[in-house]
Amino acid sequence: MPEPSPLLAGASIIDITPPAGLMMSGYAARTQPATGSHDALTARAIVVGDTAIVVADVIGLHEESCARIRSRCALPDDRVAVIATHTHGGPVSMAGRGGTAFDADFLTRLEDGCVEAIDRAVAAQRPAVLSAGLGDNPGIAFNRRHDGGVIDPTLPVLRIDGVDGKPIAILTAHACHPVVLAAYNRQYTADFPHYVREALEAASPGIIAVFLTGCAGDISTGHSPHSSISTVPTADRTYAEAERLGRRIAASASTARLRPLAGGVAATATAVTLDLERNETAPLPVLAAEWRAKAAESDPAWATLYECWADWAGTVALRPAAPWTGKVTVLDWAGVRLSFLPGEMFAQSALNVRGDTARVHFVNSFADGVPGYIPPASEYPFGGYEVLEAHRYYGLPAAFAEGSAERLEAAAIELNTRLDRATGSSGT
pLDDT at 292: 97
| Type and span of the H or E element at 139 | none
In whole angstroms, what is the distance from residue 418 CA to residue 423 CA? 9
pLDDT tens digits for range 67-91: 999 999 999 999 999 999 999 999 9
- Strand ranges for 278-421 from DSSP E: 324-333, 336-340, 344-345, 361-364, 373-374, 399-400
pLDDT at 5: 63
Please name every residue paired with 272 in a beta bridge, in sequence order, or none if there are none. 326
| DSSP codes of every residue in 242-295 | HHHHHHHHHHHHHT---EE----EEEEEEEEEE-EE----S-HHHHHHHHHHHH
- Residue 247 phi/psi, 5-degree rounding, is -70, -25
In whole angstroms, what is the distance from residue 251 CA to residue 62 CA? 33
The single-letter code of the amino acid at 385 is Y
The SS3 call for residue 98 is: coil
pLDDT at 356: 87
In whole angstroms, what is the distance from residue 180 CA to residue 237 CA? 5
In whole angstroms, what is the distance from residue 398 CA to residue 178 CA? 25
Q: Which residues of 390-416 are buried (b: 16+ CB within 10 A; e: fewer)?
A: bbbbbbbbbbbbbebbebbbebbbebb
Q: What sign for the dihedral angle of Cα 28, 34, 39, 44?
A: positive
Q: Which residues of 326-361 are buried (b: 16+ CB within 10 A; e: fewer)?
A: bbbbbbbbbbbbbbbbbbbbbbbbbbbbbeeeebbb
Q: Report angle CA 28, 33, 34 to the nearest 5 degrees.
A: 110
The SS3 call for residue 39 is: coil
The single-letter code of the amino acid at 368 is D
In whole angstroms, what is the distance from residue 301 CA to residue 230 CA? 5
Intervals of the chain under pLDDT 70: 1-5, 99, 224, 226, 426-428
